[in-house]
Amino acid sequence: MKKVDLVRVFVKGGIISPGDFQRTIQTANELGASYVHLGSRQDILFPSKNKNSETLDTTFSAINTDYDTGGEEFQNIMTSYVALDVMPTTHWLASHTYHYILDTFDYKPKLKINITDPVQTLVPLFTGNINFVASSEDNYWYLYLRFADLDSKPWCAPDLIYGYDLAKISKAIEDLDPLTGHLSYPEIYQKVKSAVAPDTHAVEQELVYPEATSPYYEGMNRIVGGKYWLGLYWRNNEFNINFLKALCQLCIETNIGKISLTPWKSIIVKGIAEKDRLSWEKLLGKFGINIRHSSLELNWHLPVLDEEALEIKNYLVRALDKQDISTYGLSFSIKTQHMSLFTSVAIEKAKKEKESDADTFNILYSKDFNPNLSEYFYYAKKVPKETLPPLLIELSYKYYDQLEARKPSEATESGVETVVKQHRKYQCANCLTVYDEKFGDAEADIPSGTSFMKLSDAYCCPVCDSPKSAFKLIMS
């Protein structure tokens, strides 16, 4: 099956209500599908030999959702809404902020648009053509453009853009048809700024990138207020429709208002009450859903419907698992076709000189093992598949050796360079306790200088026991 055989449903911002999700999967079922796929841009895809336009139009006009059948003329808008309550958050970002901004997008984008929080690591920052990244200033966003090559570094505009002008900026950029490459990034921005006259502030400090930590997005996890979030991952990215129908129904019965989709092709349900936890555990048990995959299994990005990539991933996971090797903190891509990378390590199928040549692979890793830096280096070139596991183990050692990432150095009076480490502060949203990276947390045996992002997912507030996700960045 190819992508042109799929119906693609645009889930704006990766946010969908249980009722709309239920209507979507019921329609997929009516058109012959027994499962749906989740896409890397937080969209829903399902196979359909009978793309009945009347059925599709009726369903998706009723729930005010766009869809596409074949090709990629239009694109879904990605957001990091899914990371709220799951990971630390920029202090001013809240659920309503995303909703208000998404409501201003009253057109169907042809360009890839990302709207993200730089503190979280669940949703990539720069996989779009137009990338808005939250600044430390309330509801002002960095603008990064990247059109010609999604492997190149994005260009940062000189101004921060006010949140409710993001849609106007995006539409004006799209109207210039930037993919043709006739205009430079500064020219595009100046034309758009003159045409739209957005509310802007000059950029006064560079964006601070999140540290490279692989996201955790599975299982039942506690959040602020004693509730829980549930992450669901399906190894082959074929989510059974009968299970999804039951999931949507339970969401409705337990007053869950939103379901979130991640770029890692998984589902997150937030706001599960303690009294309903047993009902959710029964649902998972009834359908035999496993929520105990290792990070070695979870942190992979594969193209949808790429059987070759899936086979390579399964081979590598089995081989690495036999070595009892840890890959915690790393994430991986299998690149058998052109795609935007957002993982720390990529296994790329090498080009053949002759069709009869055996398959070989390149291994790449991102600068500082941080994919948001948009720079990749070759670790090995044109190696056979059997050589990949030991090379990946070597590369993992390289990663762990540099975990204490060095910041830009300063020269002392003696001329000797010293490492300048930036310490950030995070504050508990419930009791206002501050975690200062400079001092760590002595009571929890966390030494000074320990990055908040490197703390275990089990870390909780030493005063009120709120989970790690309750902390928000207050100083960088």
Does residue 363 register a pLDDT over 70?
yes
Q: Which residues, 6+ apart, have CB-to-CB distance to 147 below 8 Å? A: 129, 178, 179, 181
Q: Is residue 80 part of a domain?
A: no
Lowest mean pLDDT across 5-9, 24-28, 76-80, 425-429: 425-429
Domain final residue pick, 232, 260, 293: 293
pLDDT of 69 reads: 85
Lowest mean pLDDT across 57-66, 309-318, 455-464: 455-464
| Residue, of 418 and 85, whose pLDDT is higher | 85
Nearest to 12, CA basis, from 92, 82, 90, 72: 82
Beta strands in 213-324 (DSSP E): 219-222, 228-233, 239-240, 259-262, 266-272, 300-301
Does residue 60 register a pLDDT over 60?
yes
pLDDT of 73 reads: 83
Q: Is residue 330 part of a domain?
A: yes
Q: Which residues, 6+ apart, have CB-to-CB distance to 65 below 8 Å? A: 9, 10, 11, 12, 20, 24
Nearest to 116, CA basis, from 104, 102, 105, 126: 126
Query: Do 181 and 220 reside in the same domain of the chain?
Result: no
Lowest mean pLDDT across 36-50, 66-80, 288-302, 420-434: 420-434
Contact 466, 223 (CB under 8 A): no
pLDDT of 329 reads: 81
Alpha carbon separation from 94 to 40, 116, 285 (Å, rounded): 23, 12, 33
Buried-exposed string 4-40: b where 16+ CB fall within 10 A, e elsewhere:
eebbbbbbbbbbbbbebbbbbbebbbebebebbbbbb
**Residue 334 DSSP symbol:** E
Q: Is residue 181 part of a domain?
A: yes
- The average confidence (pLDDT) of the chain is 89
Q: What is the pLDDT confidence band of residue 420, given thresholds at 50, 70 and 90?
A: very low
Look at strands 44-47 and 6-9 and give their pairing.
antiparallel
Q: What is the pLDDT confidence band of residue 4, given thresholds at 50, 70 and 90?
A: low
Buried-exposed string 112-151: b where 16+ CB fall within 10 A, e elsewhere:
bbbbbbbbbbbbbbbbbbbbbbbbbeebbbbbbbbbeebe
pLDDT of 95 reads: 95
State the angle between helix axes of 307-322 and 388-401 in degrees (0 to 180), rounded to the nearest 10.
Answer: 70
User: Hey, which of 8-12, 395-399, 400-404, 440-444 has the most confident mean pLDDT?
Assistant: 8-12
CA angle 11/123/121 to nearest 5° reads 155
Query: Do 135 and 60 reside in the same domain of the chain?
Result: no
Query: Do 48 and 98 reside in the same domain of the chain?
Result: no
Share of the chain above pLDDT 90, in %: 60
Q: Rounded distance, CA 390 to CA 399, Å?
A: 14
Q: Is residue 392 part of a domain?
A: yes
Show the domain range for 429: 418-475
Does residue 295 register a pLDDT over 90?
no
Q: Is residue 49 part of a domain?
A: yes
Does residue 409 register a pLDDT over 60?
no
Query: Do 186 and 127 reside in the same domain of the chain?
Result: yes
pLDDT tens-digit map of 252-269: 999 999 999 999 999 999
Contact 78, 115 (CB under 8 A): yes
Query: Do 146 and 68 reside in the same domain of the chain?
Result: no
The enclosing domain of 424 has a CATH number of 2.20.28.10
pTM: 0.86
pLDDT of 476 reads: 52
> What mean pLDDT comes out for the span 366-392?
93
Q: Provide the number of structural domains found in the chain.
A: 4
pLDDT tens-digit map of 103-147: 999 999 999 999 999 999 999 999 999 999 999 999 999 999 998
> What mean pLDDT comes out for the span 11-17?
97
Number of neighbours of residue 53 by Cβ within 10 angstroms: 9
Query: Do 115 and 194 reside in the same domain of the chain?
Result: yes
pLDDT tens-digit map of 67-95: 988 777 899 999 999 999 999 899 999 99
Q: Is residue 27 part of a domain?
A: yes
> What mean pLDDT comes out for the span 41-68?
88
| Residue, of 50 and 431, whose pLDDT is higher | 431
Q: What is the pLDDT confidence band of residue 404, given thresholds at 50, 70 and 90?
A: low
Which tokens hold the place of 6?
A: 């799929």
pLDDT of 325 reads: 73
Which stretch of DSSP H or E encloses residue 29?
helix 18-30
DSSP string, 42-69: S-EEEE-SS--HHHHHHHHHHTT--EEE
pLDDT of 407 reads: 47
Q: How far is CA 413 from the centre of its chain?
A: 43
Alpha carbon separation from 344 to 211, 213, 450 (Å, rounded): 11, 9, 21
Contact 101, 164 (CB under 8 A): yes
Q: Is residue 410 part of a domain?
A: no
- β-sheet with 228-233: strand ranges across: 15-16, 259-262, 266-272, 228-233, 219-222
Q: Rounded distance, CA 303 to CA 453, Å?
A: 28
Contact 385, 312 (CB under 8 A): yes
Q: Is residue 208 part of a domain?
A: no
Report CA torsion sign: 185, 189, 192, 194: negative
Share of the chain above pLDDT 70, in %: 94
Domain final residue pick, 136, 170, 202: 202
Query: Do 303 and 377 reside in the same domain of the chain?
Result: yes
Nearest to 301, CA basis, from 44, 453, 151, 123: 123
Q: What is the pLDDT confidence band of residue 408, given thresholds at 50, 70 and 90?
A: very low
Nearest to 362, CA basis, from 151, 212, 147: 151
Query: Do 94 and 191 reside in the same domain of the chain?
Result: yes
Query: Do 443 and 392 reside in the same domain of the chain?
Result: no
The enclosing domain of 387 has a CATH number of 3.30.413.10
Query: Do 301 and 289 reside in the same domain of the chain?
Result: no
Residue 293 buriedness (CB in 10 A; 0-12 / 13-18 / 19+): middle
pLDDT tens-digit map of 143-199: 999 987 666 789 999 999 999 999 999 999 999 998 887 899 999 999 999 999 999
Query: Do 276 and 304 reside in the same domain of the chain?
Result: no
pLDDT of 2 reads: 57
Domain final residue pick, 226, 259, 293: 293
Query: Do 108 and 196 reside in the same domain of the chain?
Result: yes
